[in-house]
Amino acid sequence: MSLWMSSAAVPQFPPLNDDVTVDVCVVGAGIAGLTTAYFLSLEGKSVAVLDDGPIGWGETGRTTAHWVNALDDRYYELERIHGTVGARLAAESHTAAIELAHSIIKKENIDCDFHYLDGFLFAGKGEDPAELDKECEAARRAGLTDVKIVDHAPGLPWTGRALMFPKQAQLHPLRYLSHMSMVMARRGVQIYCYTHANKITATEVHTDRGPVIHCKQVVVCTNSPVNDRVAIHTKQHPYRTYVIGMRVPKNELPLILLWDTLDPYHYVRLQPDPLSRAHDILIVGGEDHRTGEESEPEYHFTKLEDWTRERFPQVQERAHAWSGQVLEPIDGLGFIGRNPGDQDVFIITGDSGNGMTHGTLGAKLVTDLIMGRENPWATLYNPSRFRLRSTTEYVRENLIVGKHYAEWLHPTDTSSPDGIKPGTGAVIRRGTKLIAAYRDESGRLHECSAVCTHLGGIVHWNNLESSWDCPCHGSRFDATGQVINGPALKNLEPVDETDRPPLKRDQGDRPAKELS
Ligand code: FES
């Protein structure tokens, strides 16, 4: 549970129980999906939103909600890949996203701790501060003419020289979405939760509960697009990121956004403590790594806490800790617009660590496309694009995917389920098959195929989230194999009874049917 999940009264919407017909079906009720539905409803479109959990309970509920036009892939890099005009459009669109959110908050009178504030980029330990000058010049060329170098971030001399980006923003993402969803529901937008979309076409969205949503257009906002099998997933790659919330006496630290130049980098903000008027929560994130490539994820919280205590001696106890998933596009910008090969299916994906602004500008862009209007950002974010200058990144990331496919031939975590401790899981080999075996706290063993239902990668056990994570394109499944993150649409396959070893009475192992 993130700080946001534990401090927002998220409205509950019912599951889909009957077929419905609307103009547009939006799949995914996070920042991108709900903002798209909001804009489309203002245009007079009838809209249905579908999600397999509560609203905002995917990656939007796990963000740190930095609203920045200071893109973490750096303007000098965006300029190299997308050209001067592309970098300018990137700056313009992310700036517009901050303004769009502010205008929604004002118009709908949303109480979500929104603040404009300055952001500061500083050189991480051992990093060359000259990068700040290089980025300052590139950001100015991209149109952010008010960025400037300062001696240090306010009240934090240890940062040394820092690059200041004025008028960034922060808010409480789930209070923002909760209020927005209520406004939309009153306006007639139909929101259905706890309903999994298992087949998506331009005119029909089928669900695991049976009913179908009939529509003229579909917008897929499921973080990783579940309608796309291959094209997009070779151009963006999944990373886990970690966040802690440290209690700190109120007004001891400046209200700013802060991040460093390391890779992976640290990112910092402040939020009023929902449980205490006398405290703020210092939110610190970072420690990113490729999904499925870490056997001891809890260790990253300790490293984040050490980093924080060294720089912010005012902090007290750790009050929150959570992790999330970031999709890193190979060229630094989201994939937003028509799904490759489709006229009436749209996607918003590739948050690149800037999910709040990408989701919001994506909602505006897709709304314009659906309304038949020109949008100046459409070419830059076109999901079908391939920039030649991102080829090195494309090859590097897909070599990693190839390495993970080779795991079919590797030794497994353990040779037998006997050694799997309660509350943990491991991949075991049985004949030619790879099994994802999880032993629950009561000692019962749950087994399913370890083969990802997207494109056949081998899932890895994530001890922190108690999930099976696929390192190839980021699909995630709960401990018993139910899909929780795309691009996979289906659960891990059950184990064939003939693949099972004889039951062991003393361990309480029982066949899958009996367990369910
Ligand atoms: Fe693509 Fe698993 S997410 S193979």
The residue whose CB lies within 8 Å of the most ligand 1 atoms, and thus the one to mutate among 228, 475, 476, 491, is 475
Average pLDDT over residues 281-285: 98
The answer on pLDDT for 402 being more than 90 is no
Q: Across residues 384-400, what is the average pLDDT?
A: 80
Question: Phi/psi at 485 (nearest 5 deg)?
Answer: -145, 135
pLDDT at 505: 42
Instruction: Give yes or no for a contact between 38 and 23, defined as CB atoms under 8 angstroms apart.
Output: no
Tokens found for residue 83: 């050209």
**Rounded to the nearest whole angstrom, what is the distance from the C-alpha of residue 503 to the centroid of ligand 1?**
31
Q: How far apart are CA 241 and CA 286, in angstroms?
A: 6
| Cα-based angle 74, 245, 103 (whole degrees, multiple of 5) | 60
What is the C-alpha separation between 373 and 413, in angstroms, rounded?
53
Whose CA is closest to atom 3 on ligand 1? 473
Query: For residues 399 and 376, what is the distance between their CA atoms, to the nearest angstrom?
Result: 34
Range scoring the smallest mean pLDDT among 31-40, 104-113, 271-280, 355-364? 271-280
pLDDT at 506 > cutoff 50: no
Distances (CA, A) of 455 to 234, 290, 328, 428, 458: 12, 18, 19, 20, 9
473 lines ligand 1 (CB under 6 A): yes
**What is the model's pLDDT at position 515?**
32
Q: How far is the CA of 4 from the centre of ligand 1 (A)?
A: 29
Model confidence at 511, pLDDT cuts 50, 70, 90, reads very low
What's the rounded mean pLDDT across residues 414-421? Answer: 82
Q: Are 118 and 256 in contact (CB under 8 A)?
A: yes
Beta strands in 339-423 (DSSP E): 345-349
Q: Is the minimum distance from the CB of 472 to ligand 1 under 6 angstroms?
A: yes
CA distance 485 to 477: 7
Q: What is the mean pLDDT of residues 120-127?
A: 94
Residue type, 250: K
Q: What pLDDT is attached to residue 401?
A: 75
- The minimum-distance atom of ligand 1 relative to the CA of 473 is 3
| pLDDT at 298 (0 to 100) | 87
Q: Residue 67 — pLDDT band, cuts 50, 70, 90?
A: very high
**What b-and-e string marks burial along 469-499, b requiring 16 or more CB atoms within 10 Å of the CB?**
bbbbbbbbbbbbbebbbbbbbbbbebbeeee
Q: Which residue from 237, 472, 483, 485 has its CB within 8 A of the most atoms of ligand 1, so it is best to mutate? A: 472
- Give distance in angstroms: CA of 373 to centre of ligand 1: 35
Ligand 1: does its nearest atom lie under 6 Å from the Cβ of 237? no
Residue 507 pLDDT more than 80?
Answer: no
Task: Locate the ligand 1 atom nearest the alpha carbon of residue 474 and give its number.
Answer: 3
Q: What is the per-residue pLDDT for 516?
A: 29
How far apart CA 60 and CA 177 sit, in angstroms, is 9
Give tens-digit pLDDT for 427-455: 998 888 899 999 999 999 999 999 999 99
Mean pLDDT in residue range 349-377: 96
Supply the pLDDT for residue 230. Answer: 86
Q: pTM of the prediction?
A: 0.92
| pLDDT per position as a tens digit, 237-261 | 999 999 999 999 999 999 999 999 9
pLDDT tens profile 308-334? 999 999 999 999 999 999 999 999 999
Counting DSSP H helices and E strands in the chain, the numbers are: 9, 26
335 alpha carbon to ligand 1 midpoint, in Å? Answer: 18
Q: Ligand 1 centroid to 416 CA: how many Å?
A: 25
Q: What is the mean pLDDT of residues 214-221?
A: 98
- Calpha distance 500→355 (Å, rounded): 43
The verdict on the CB of residue 87 being under 6 Å from ligand 1 is no
Ligand 1 pocket test, candidate residues 290, 473, 483, most atoms within 8 A of CB: 473
Residue with tokens 């890099």: 77
pLDDT at 478 over 50: yes
Q: State the Cα–Cα distance between residues 479 and 424, nearest whole angstrom.
A: 9
Ligand 1 contacts CB of residue 486 (under 6 A): no
Give the pLDDT of residue 295.
Answer: 73
Alpha-carbon distance of 334 to 327, in angstroms, equals 9
Residues 6+ apart with CB under 8 A from 299: none
Residue 65, by phi and psi: left (phi above 0), alpha (psi -120 to 50) or beta? left
Span 282-311, average pLDDT: 92
Report how far residue 454's alpha carbon sits from residue 352's, in angstroms, rounded to the nearest whole number: 22
